[in-house]
Structure 1
Amino acid sequence: MWQKANARTFKGLESETKWQGPFLFAQLADTQLGMVDANAKWDVEMASCKKAVEALNKLKPKFAIVCGDLVDMWPSNDPEHPDADATKRVQQVADFKEVMKGISEDIPLVCLCGNHDVGNRPNAVTIEEYKREFGDDYFAFWAGGCRCLVVNTSLYNDPADAAKEYAEQHEWLLMQLAAAEAQGATHTLVFSHHPWFLQDPEEDANSDLGMWEFTTASGYVVKLKNQYFHIPRERRRPVIEAFRKHKVRAAFAGHWHQCGEVRLPDGFEQIVTGAVGAQSDTAPGA
């Protein structure tokens, strides 16, 4: 079940290349076992995951996808978090897999990596750790005539320690976008952890995007500039240009722990889904 993303495709989701009408899929994000109680325990997130599983089994979507931060504990060999507890990481991954086993076998579960899964500044070792746990960090599949591209946006967030992996994925993404258009995909959809932007494709480090705040169960308050949640503009621009060139219909993300939607005049939509686990407040109107 956990190694279906392999050789840059997803086993069982390869054949539906033709449109047969509207269909339902489910996008989730940030199950992030451990965030609420700073990795002391994760019973709150497990309970939320169980509710999500129950909802999915009732909805019966064509597929379900979890857009990253499957667990909270950072990976081994993450230079920013040398004190990461490998034992807790292993247990969180095991518990995530155990609760998600409750999803009906006829609903394919697609998982992708977030920054807590491979690091804010990923490297070859952290990516390989994730691949051993869940399969490829980026890949493509077909569903109902739509070409779905799954991207490791942590490489776009900060490729300093993974320049080769970043370049390879970017080349792959450009090729996949062109191929989807050439193959006549009814819609091309992109799934990632990080939103490419929050409000405007041209926002940057100096834009007034406000602050993000979250209080843990122990009362510790986390405050971050919202720029933490988007892809830096210098690496975002070529991706957005490629999306426009190849008529990407929508991009789906998580990471922000709140909901947000942006529709651009050319018809492109970006949908940011709130967290299954630790949810922050959603801005009014989002």
Structure 2
Amino acid sequence: MAETNKRPFQIQAINRRFVPFDSEKEKEWKGSFFFVQGADCQPGLTYQWSGKIRKTYTPDAPINWDVEIEATRAIIKKLNEMEPKPKFFIVCGDIVDAYDFEEPFRTRQEKDIKEVLAELDPSIPLVCVCGNHDVGDEPTRSSIQRYVDNFGDDYFDFYCSGVHCIVLNSQFYAHSANVEDLKSQHEQWLDRVLKDHSAKHTIIFQHIPWFLRTYDEDKDYFNIEINTRLQMLEKFHSSGVKKIFCGHYHRNAGGSYKSMEQIVTSAIGLQLGVDKSGVRLVRVTEDDIEHQYFATDDIPANFL
């Protein structure tokens, strides 16, 4: 196995900063680049899926997550082979499947997925975004802290070659009753970072999509309640956000709100539709942001 296997997993989002990028130096546009977006590694979900709903973990269940671990490893291998390398690889939530209270599965999944993610070439920074399985459907201070302790901050921002990247904790918009104070801190922080209009582009990354196809669609499990949705979409649009990248749906989807595009990327792990395990490659130019989803076997060696 490659030497990168032996490197420990590095937490890179600390104190609302993403350590690999010096934001002051990275505020300047330096030319076109690309990054890779994935979502929902979610080791264990395949063995838990009944076809309609995720089953509950039981201590004596014959659960393993070989399928998702190998799917994630295959992605990592492809990214490591790319020349030039992507500027970063971002995983938009549900890095694990087992909830905070589902032991011993949660601890084992954290260990196993971090070992695989640590195989990523060290020249490709890994950006982790929290999902509902990572911090809980009804997050608490302790469930959020567990995620932070294992994967880094649950929200933060950074600049990359003149592009402002904002990472949200979307679970605050789904259920925040247990952590209203933390949600308030999140919103104050978000209002502050959205005021910076110096970047060539502003991009948001989160787990749960605001919508799947149309901004005025009905609420269901995979999107956000419509009043909150419209309020936040207008805030982002009026702040100059160009794109919002999400996961959660385990299928590819997306649509637009006014001139702002939201992109929903299918899973690295279990698929719930016709897509195959893969990632989205995103090319950023001075005037545009283009993207395409690739199944793992089809990821090109060069995307520029």
Q: TM-score, normalised by structure 1?
A: 0.84
SS at match of 1:148: strand
Q: Tell me, yes or no, if structure 1 residue 5 matches structure 2 residue 13.
A: yes
Alignment equivalent of 1:112, drawn from 114, 118, 129: 129
| Contact kept in structure 2, 1:197 and 1:203, CA below 8 Å | yes
Contiguous gaps of at least 5 residues in structure 2:
1-8, 49-56, 58-62, 276-292, 294-304
Task: Name the aligned partner's letter for residue 57 of structure 1.
Answer: N
Summarize the alignment of residues 1-286 of structure 1 with structure 2, pairs less than 5 Å apart. 1-13=9-21, 14=23, 15-38=25-48, 40-59=63-82, 60-76=85-101, 84-85=102-103, 87-179=104-196, 181=197, 184-205=198-219, 227-264=220-257, 266-282=258-274
Distance in 2 separating the partners of 1:199 and 1:261:
5
Aligned length: 251
Distance in 1 separating the partners of 2:178 and 2:213:
28
Cα offsets for 1:10-54 (capped at 9, x unmatched): 101223111122211000000001000126100000110111101
Cα offsets for 1:149-192 (capped at 9, x unmatched): 0000011111111111111111211211112x1xx100000000
| Contact kept in structure 2, 1:259 and 1:282, CA below 8 Å | no
CA apart distance, 1:201: 2.0
Distance in 1 separating the partners of 2:234 and 2:184:
17
Contiguous gaps of at least 5 residues in structure 1:
77-83, 206-226
Identity %: 39
| Contact kept in structure 2, 1:260 and 1:282, CA below 8 Å | no
Q: TM-score, normalised by structure 2?
A: 0.79
Distance in 2 separating the partners of 1:178 and 1:197:
24
Structure-1 residue corresponding to 2:282? none
CA apart distance, 1:237: 2.2
| Contact kept in structure 1, 2:215 and 2:255, CA below 8 Å | no
CA apart distance, 1:101: 1.3
Distance in 1 separating the partners of 2:173 and 2:137:
10
Distance in 1 separating the partners of 2:152 and 2:176:
20
CA apart distance, 1:200: 2.0
Task: Name the aligned partner's letter for residue 256 of structure 1.
Answer: Y
202 and 171 in structure 1: CA distance in 2 versus 1, 3 angstrom threshold? farther
Structure-1 residue corresponding to 2:52? none
